Structure 1
Amino acid sequence: MTSRLTPEDQQRVDHYLRAPQHQVERKPFRPWLLLVLVLAVTIGLGLVSRLLSQLVL
Structure 2
Amino acid sequence: MSEQDLQKFIKKVNSLKKMIESIEKSAERKERLASCSNHQEVVDLAKSWGFEIGERWGEK
TM-score normalized with structure 1 length: 0.44
Structure with higher Rg: it is 1
